[in-house]
Amino acid sequence: MSELEAMAATDGETPVGPAALRLENVVRTYDEAAGKLEILKGTNLTIWPGEIVALVAPSGTGKSTLLHLAGLLERPDAGEVYIGGVAAGGLSDDARTRMRRVDIGFVYQFHHLLPEFTALENVMMPQLIRGLDKATAAVRAEQLLAYMRMKERASHRPSELSGGEQQRVAIARAVANVPRLLLADEPTGNLDPKTSHYVFEALRGLVRASGLAALVATHNMELAGRMDRRITLQDGQVVEM
């Protein structure tokens, strides 16, 4: 077992615990001049630890909205979001922020790495914000970058990295605090097919090794085909494909 797997805090038993993510009758509407825009109409979704789920749906159907709700960046108009079995709706903003930092990792289409910091420092950052000491954060960041085959590039700044390398650093950063749930919004949307394939394989390897759950919005059917499950949005509902 690798150190990474050891850090995933499993004891070798099949985990019998709460879902990593559960949406229960989630409603999300936007008020537009032309009237109410109903994006999610009371939808349900459960993702278990260890699962990688593809969210495949046309632009404008609500993929990002669903990810923002799951990531506690927005609140639903009705319904409940559970992270690791804990209902987020009743929590204070502070408690939600803590949950977002500790339990959830995000990867976006554009990497959002801090330009003035190295790859290593970017992966250390969420750990330092969480309160870990520098030495511990550096060790973990090195391990994650090595896992993403980015060890040799650890001292480079984002501008000195290719798009695929930047996304691999962004993925390492997203899992730096060992979240329960990784949310990725078209993480390979800016990359060519070959690089997409490589970056996704690295992401999948990391999810498999650490036992976290991942929800990945993508337009790439080849990637979707390599995930455990595929869901789409139809008429404001999450539907299995």
Burial of 221 (0-12, 13-18, 19+ CB in 10 A): exposed
239 touches ligand ADP (CB under 6 A): no
Member of 20, 43, 54, 62 binding ligand ADP (CB under 6 A): 62
30 binds ligand ADP (CB under 6 A): yes
Does residue 60 bind ligand ADP (CB under 6 A)?
yes
Task: Give the separation between CA 132 and CA 103, rounded to whole angstroms.
Answer: 15
65 binds, among Mg ion, ligand ADP, none (CB under 5 to 8 A by kind): ligand ADP
Q: Provide DSSP, 124-140.
A: HHHHHHHT--HHHHHHH
Q: How large is the C-alpha radius of gyration of the chain?
A: 18
The partner in contact with residue 76, picked from Mg ion, ligand ADP, none with C-beta cut-offs of 5 to 8 angstroms by kind, is: none
Backbone φ and ψ for 179, nearest 5 degrees, come out as -70, 165
| Residue in 2, 5, 15, 37 binding ligand ADP, rule: CB under 6 A | 37
The residues that bridge with 87 in the sheet, in sequence order, are 82
Binding region for ligand ADP (CB under 6 A) out of 16-24, 55-63, 99-107, 221-229: 55-63
Distance CA 40, CA 54 (A): 18
Candidates 10-18, 44-52, 57-65, 90-98: pick the segment binding ligand ADP (CB under 6 A): 57-65
Among residues 6, 11, 59, 90, the one that binds ligand ADP under rule CB under 6 A? 59
How many residues bind ligand ADP (CB under 6 A)? The answer is 11
